[in-house]
């Protein structure tokens, strides 16, 4: 009788162990997310490292990288145009999106105050000229909006990089603002910008230069 009981108990313990292992495996699978398909696994290649020139060494005190790109009206704008004066460059992800609209409108609201402090303001994104013009007209923006479709300036300033949203990664503009002093050097860099109150903070910094 005792042999039968021990045998049954052994089977029960084994069953519990199997169920526990199955539950643990299921929880781990949920945390890791869906497994990639065989096609995705075989076709995925490591992303090559960006060239060393892409924002390498960009820091406060370093020379601002030169640029020569079209603004929303098609006219070319270069760093040399602002020689001897202070310049604010705010890089935004996409024209017309909520956060970018608030940021651009805040800089427009303070345009006169920036001008009084001897500071010009320009916005830069990867949007085409036509999109920048539509953005400016729709919200009556007074600041120049630079189009950098080939990401030349964005990469030079180190603001074109990998982003993530809803579990997906992609390349895009990292919301960043740069303040250039009258000598053409970077005085301040704001990374991972939160738009609320940001323009006012930048104005205060420009006034201190």
Q: Are 149 and 101 in contact (CB under 8 A)?
A: no
Secondary structure (3-state) at 78: strand
Query: Of 142, 166, 146, 170, whose CA–CA distance to 157 is shortest?
Result: 146
DSSP state of 159: -
CA distance 56 to 62: 11
- Alpha-carbon distances, residue 155 vs 91, 151, 160, 178, 187 (angstroms): 11, 6, 5, 14, 19
CA distance 77 to 71: 7
CA distance 141 to 145: 9
Active site residues: 100
Q: Are 68 and 78 in contact (CB under 8 A)?
A: yes
Strand partners, 177: 90, 190
């Amino acid at each position: 009788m005792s042999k039968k009981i021990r045998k049954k108990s052994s089977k029960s313990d084994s069953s519990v162990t199997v169920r526990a292992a199955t539950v643990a495996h299921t929880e781990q699978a949920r945390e890791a997310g869906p497994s990639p398909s065989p096609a995705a696994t075989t076709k995925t290649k490591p992303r090559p490292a960006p060239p060393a020139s892409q924002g390498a060494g960009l820091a406060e005190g370093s020379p601002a990288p030169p640029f020569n790109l079209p603004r929303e009206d098609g006219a070319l704008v270069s760093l040399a145009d602002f020689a001897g004066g202070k310049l604010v460059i705010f890089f935004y992800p996409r024209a017309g999106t909520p956060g970018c609209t608030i940021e651009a409108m805040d800089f427009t609201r303070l345009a006169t105050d920036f001008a009084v402090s001897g500071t010009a303001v320009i916005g830069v994104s990867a949007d085409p000229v036509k999109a920048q013009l539509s953005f400016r007209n729709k919200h009556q923006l007074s600041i120049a909006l630079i189009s950098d479709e080939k990401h030349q300036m964005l990469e030079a300033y180190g603001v074109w990089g990998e982003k993530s949203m809803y579990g997906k990664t992609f390349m895009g503009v990292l919301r960043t603002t740069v303040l250039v002093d009258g000598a053409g050097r970077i005085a301040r860099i704001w990374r991972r910008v939160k738009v609320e109150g940001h323009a006012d903070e930048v104005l205060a910094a420009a006034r201190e230069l």
